[in-house]
A and B are shown apart, each in its own frame.
Chain A
Amino acid sequence: MASRLLTRSAAARLLSHLRRRTPDPTHPLLIYGAALASLLGPIGDLPAAADSALLRYPARWFSSSSTAAVTKAPMTADGLTVDSIAGKGWTILPEAESDWRSHAAAVAQSIKLIKKRLKWGWILERTKQLAVVLERPDLWDDPVFAGRVSREHGELMGKIKSVNQFEQELIEHIEMLRLAREENDNELETESMSALADMRRSAKEKELNAILSGENDSCSCFIEVQAGAGGTESMDWAAMVMNMYRSWAQRRGYTVTVVEEMPGEIAGIKRATIKVDGEYAFGYAKAEVGVHRLVRISPFDSGKRRHTSFAAVAVIPILGAASSRYQIKDSDLRIERFRSGGPGGQHANTTESAIRIVHVPTGITATCQNERSQHMNKASAMAVLQSRLDQLEIARQAQMNAEHTQSLNEISWGNQIRSYVLHPYRMVKDLRTNYEVSDPDSVLEGDLDEFILNYLSSSLDEADGTTLLDGD
């Protein structure tokens, strides 16, 4: 390949060449007179055409001269692009390993995800349409409309540009690294490697921000777990699920408090609610909404038979003091305290401090019995009630996001999201993403991040039009 012929002194020339290949997309000519873009001349004159996968975007989009310039994928001298790197399936090793392929693959994966989140296909299409509009000679007859169009076009071009720059950077680092290897320049190699590693970290950060960009993702949340039918075995399973979330949350550095817990008669829980406090608690935990299925030899079955049990999980965001909060009227509340049923007063000694609050118009209730102080239980129950009503409000305001706003009662027991098998083989498999691991113990000890991230990025696939538009 060409790079083999390069000398160290040629590196600078190569880099400047790479940079030249991507014209500044926010150039005034592009925005205000897209037709002029064609004057910038042909750009497809590079030796990259060999990899057909690279040409997905070009094939569909480059026919329009106006946006072609900015959507051209940056490429190494030997034809690697970000997409092709992501598609090569290179093993991604831990960050500490100095392996450029691993770093590059990680960055490429992140970029792919960020593109999904941005609805890359839609952005490109939209930019193209806007460019057509901007070409119209009578555009400025309606200055308000023209202003709006050019502003949107500018914003989209800005997004495209920042992604392209990031891609460009990756390609440059790879080129530099190859160069360094060929020239046996250890210093340059170390430098480039650490630059790649840095990039990997910042890409991960950008990726997370891209995944967790839902309206309420940054909120704290309540996680509720309810045992399915099946008595003690399924109550025990519900308790295991609850423990899994507690340790998951603690690993992530969130604060966990038990709000409500209804213990089973023999073991486990019938139902429980915990509060998970911390940044993005809801964003991650929402991936766990649904029914979790366990298959094992039940310790509660003297006949040692295999049992299948279910636990339902609901996740509710705790909204900040935003305007979307449901306004609760005091007169709509009925506050119930525990009643001993006897003569009460001096006759009775009880530490029962449970509080139940009923929101009369909706029939929604919240209970808290965790604290010794009834006063504090009331405050906690109010917080739960507020969140449940907020959730209802969110659901009412927007029928979308349906999955995340389901309450426990609404979750259909058929909606299984994950299977945990302890017998006859050992496996945890997510039924939505098909992601699986063969070590159920670590998952039950809270090692859930891979499941969650896999689901979150796969749910971006559905939200993004790229797949369809690209025809793959």
Chain B
Amino acid sequence: MAWSSVGLDPASPSTSVPFLPRRTRHFPVKPPPAMAMLSLSSRPLASLRPNRPNPPLHRLLRPKPLASTSASALTPPTPLSDPTPPPDADPTPLFLRPATHPAPAAALAAFRRRAAALVPPSAPHLHRHLRWLLAAAAAAADPSSDPALLRAPLGDLEAMWARHVRDRRPFQYVVGNEHWRDLVVAVRDGVLIPRPETEAVVDMVRNVEGFADGWWADLGTGSGAIAVAVARELGPEGKVFAVDVSEVAIEVARLNVQRYGMQDKVEIRHGSWFEPLEDVKGKLMGVISNPPYIPTDDLPRLQPEVGWHEPKLALDGGKDGLEHLLHLCEGLSSVLKPGGFFVFETNGNKQSEFLVDLISTKWSSSFHNVEAVLDFAEIKRFVTGYRR
């Protein structure tokens, strides 16, 4: 079993670059100006989605977004180095599309051979992806039926596969989901793919005394993974407010909430951080957030799957990566009720240490038991604490 790095860029930005500002920066590429703008505010990004010719049913059925701020002039081009629109412009995740495209066994086998031939020897994990892609694309009923029924025409699958292998579009975007905890979370371009580290947040919430009947806020919910997972643990009085500024995120979160039947437990609100929570100020048992925390300067060196394809909005933490985290810390005391709990995910050791230090000195009168919590790789990934 290889427990070493697979498919990751050797450069590890956060460990090689100090998170505190320094004059000595040496970037191979200058960050585009758009990114600098992006880091200044938390703004919607939705308008740049490629054309969607056929809105799927679940999108037609849902109400319009609460606010339509999507035409902001600040929206940066994204994905960064991904000029061609994806061939599967249908925003319905592949695994949820109806299996209506017959593919004869021979054609399927030929596709499998061609697809496997694209995999470089250095990337054995791609063979696994191919297997998973075919499993996700085929109708669940009878795998051996001929012709097999697929959720997309073979030609589309082939284009999607090529984009995964050549352009390094994340596999999760290709099949439209990520397995996260015991959930299958729908994702698509424009929404951050939930990370395995973040799974631990749900366990931390569950350890809070009386959590089940409290009101919780998941700020920057993205796909809604945390909100849905927490909601599933809640009692009859419990509730989660899932907030995001991105309209794509709102759509995807709504889909995930519906898929797990959590409409009564999760209330989705459109807006930036605390803005849509005015009416519940001082009433929250907890605040959860996995905000953008990567220092802007580190963005050009991200793994291609992340840097080229995932939304900058969900990654870019501004200078030092602390911009949003600091904003969250400042607003925290006014939304939490006394005894309320918070947990933030951070960029790792130094950010966590900095935040713990800051909160327990600057706001020592408002918070107690502030600490950095390790993730499964022994990195201080989270900051948690309680409102006095």
Q: Which A residues are in CB contact (< 8 Å) with B13?
A: 343, 347
B-side interface residues, number (CB < 8 Å): 53
Q: Mask for A379-419, Cβ within 8 A of B = 1, else 0?
A: 00000000000000000000000000000000000000000
Q: Which A residues are in CB contact (< 8 Å) with B170?
A: 349
Q: Is the interface of A mostly helix, strand, loop or mixed?
A: loop
Distance (Å) between the CB of A96 and the closest chain B CB?
29
Q: Which B residues are in CB contact (< 8 Å) with A263?
A: 124, 127
Distance (Å) between the CB of A389 and the closest chain B CB?
19
Residues 289-307 (chain B) with a chain A CB within 8 angstroms: 290, 292-294, 298, 302-303, 305-306
Q: Which B residues are in CB contact (< 8 Å) with A346?
A: 192, 195, 290, 292-294, 306, 314-315, 347
Residues 186-203 (chain B) with a chain A CB within 8 angstroms: 192-193, 195-198
Q: Taking the complex as formed, is B340 at the interface, i.e. its CB lies under 8 A from any CB of chain A?
A: no
| Stretch from B2-10, B33-41, B211-219, B263-271 at the A interface | B2-10
| Stretch from A101-109, A146-154, A309-317, A367-375 at the B interface | A367-375
Task: Give the CA-CA distance A356 to B125 in the complex, in Å.
Answer: 17
Q: Taking the complex as formed, is A125 at the interface, i.e. its CB lies under 8 A from any CB of chain B?
A: no
Do the beta carbons of B179 and A349 come within 8 Å of each other?
A: no
Residue of B nearest to A353 (CB): B179
Q: Taking the complex as formed, is B27 at the interface, i.e. its CB lies under 8 A from any CB of chain A?
A: no
Q: Which B residues are in CB contact (< 8 Å) with A343?
A: 12-15, 347-348, 379
Q: Taking the complex as formed, is A348 at the interface, i.e. its CB lies under 8 A from any CB of chain B?
A: yes
Known contacts A341-B5, A343-B14; decide if A349 and B377 are in contact (CB<8 Å): no
Known contacts A351-B125, A351-B128; decide if A345 and B195 are in contact (CB<8 Å): yes
Distance (Å) between the CB of B185 and the closest chain A CB?
11
Task: Give the CA-CA distance A372 to B377 in the complex, in Å.
Answer: 20
Q: How many A-B contacts if CB must be within 8 Å? A: 113
Q: Taking the complex as formed, is A339 at the interface, i.e. its CB lies under 8 A from any CB of chain B?
A: yes
Q: Taking the complex as formed, is A350 at the interface, i.e. its CB lies under 8 A from any CB of chain B?
A: yes
Q: Taking the complex as formed, is A181 at the interface, i.e. its CB lies under 8 A from any CB of chain B?
A: no
Residues 18-64 (chain A) with a chain B CB within 8 angstroms: none
- Most chain A CB neighbours (cut-off 10 Å) among B129, B181, B196, B302: B196
Do the beta carbons of A338 and B3 come within 8 Å of each other?
A: yes
- Most chain B CB neighbours (cut-off 10 Å) among A343, A371, A373: A343
Q: Mask for A83-119, Cβ within 8 A of B = 1, else 0?
A: 0000000000000000000000000000000000000
Q: A336-B3, A345-B293, A375-B181 are in contact. List 4 more A-B contacts (CB 8 A).
A: A342-B12, A345-B381, A347-B14, A351-B125
A-B contacts, 17 of them at CB < 8 A, read: A337-B196, A339-B3, A339-B376, A340-B5, A342-B5, A344-B377, A344-B381, A345-B198, A345-B381, A346-B293, A346-B347, A347-B306, A348-B303, A349-B305, A351-B132, A369-B1, A373-B182
